Amino acid sequence: MTTDCRHPLCELIGGSCSLATGRSRGCTPSLTEKKIAPDLFDEVRELVAVIDPSAPDERGRAAAIRLAEIMRREARNDRHLLALARTDEPDLVPALEQLCLRRR
């Protein structure tokens, strides 16, 4: 299924964009820690290992839904998971980019 947002993760889940935070990018002060807990990166690593966009199944879809929930929650707390992974967990970056960057 193709979505308007063109995120491969959202195509696996179906429906509207699953990564949208529902919050504008105004000038809100950041009051939260910019670090992501190592155990959260461990969970994300487990989720991306299950998700295979080329062979979608229910287990992968459930993992995609959970990953989208984490991405939204962290974004609402001004922690962009993909950006922080680039510095803290670079081994996760290719899988996250494959799932969460828009197709061109």
CA distances from 36 to 10, 16, 59, 74 (A): 23, 27, 25, 8
Q: What is the pLDDT of residue 26?
A: 57
Over residues 34-46, the pLDDT tens digits come to: 788 889 999 999 9
Q: What is the pLDDT of residue 90?
A: 95
Least trusted range by pLDDT, from 27-31, 71-75, 79-83, 87-91 = 27-31
Distance CA 38, CA 68 (A): 18
Q: Structural domain boundaries of the chain?
A: 1-21+43-104
Q: What is the pLDDT of residue 21?
A: 65
pTM higher than the cut 0.85: no
Residue 98's identity, in one-letter code, is Q
Q: What is the pLDDT of residue 2?
A: 55
Residue 80's identity, in one-letter code, is H
Q: What is the pLDDT of residue 22?
A: 65
In sequence order, what are the residues at sequence separation of 6 or more whose Cβ sits closer than 8 angstroms to the Cβ of residue 32? 77, 78, 79
Q: Which two tokens stand for residue 87?
A: 């510095």
